[in-house]
Amino acid sequence: MPTDPPLPHPPATRYGPGFATQGTRHRKPKNGLVIAGFLVGLAALGVAFVPLAGIAAWPLAVIGVTLSVIGLVKIKKGEADKKGMGVAGLALSIAALLAAGGLLVYTNFFATGESGLHIPAVASDKNRVEFVVSASGGATVRYGSLNDQRTETTPASTDEWHGTASFNSGDYLLTVTADTRNSSVSNQIACSILVNGRKVAENKGQTIALCTANTG
């Protein structure tokens, strides 16, 4: 009885395991999420210590953590790669959260004492002090706290003189003294102290004016 001829062997191929039929190796897709998480975490840590801009570290760090975690989950499922960058992005984002939190705690609870009063004002401080003097005949002005004074001279002018200071927290005895520089001129002098825009002290005199206020 005739038998069927043996089937021909399939042609040899140079593609081994791990190659697609088109001749390209299967590769895991690149993980754009962990790349974005790494960059966002790096940016968050970069601004965490910058005055004023540091507040942006909070949302940036949260976004960085979210992107990195989602990217790492995809890696665990075998759907993506770049695990090292995902771990680094997560670490950077967490570090940014800790840095921003530490700066907030320091600012609110430890930046106290007389050294915490900055003259002139620092933009990043929470509380702003304004010293105001009017002296049409000019005056010598001493202003600041009881233990930290600055001295300036104001020209004869109807314009007000302004000095500034700032602090985050603490109890300070603020003071401003203005006295006439020309005793031969009738010089009505007035002074005032404002904290966060609210007037806390005012006084006036013919040759000298003294204002004091406590921030506590």
Q: Is the model's pLDDT at 7 over the cut of 60?
A: no
Q: Which two tokens stand for residue 113?
A: 């004492």
In this prediction, residue 163 carries a pLDDT of 95
Asked whether 153 and 140 are in contact (CB, 8 A), the reply is yes
User: What is the rounded CA–CA span in Å between residue 167 and residue 157?
Assistant: 30
Topology, domain 127-214: Lipoxygenase-1 (2.60.60)
Instruction: Name the token pair of 4.
Output: 């069927």
State residue 43's pLDDT score: 84
How far apart are the C-alpha atoms of 73 and 57, rounded to whole Å? 24
Spell out the domain ranges in the chain: 127-214
Sign of CA dihedral 146, 152, 153, 158: negative
**Is residue 184's pLDDT more than 60?**
yes
- Looking at per-residue pLDDT, the higher value among 20 and 93 belongs to 93
Q: Is the pLDDT assigned to residue 26 strictly greater than 70?
A: no
Which pLDDT score is estimated for 9?
55
The Cα 35–Cα 55 span in angstroms is: 23
Please state the rounded mean pLDDT for residues 28-46.
80
Which band of pLDDT confidence, cut at 50, 70 and 90, is reported for residue 211? Answer: very high
Q: Helix, strand or coil for residue 63?
A: helix
Q: How far apart are CA 175 and CA 133, in angstroms?
A: 12
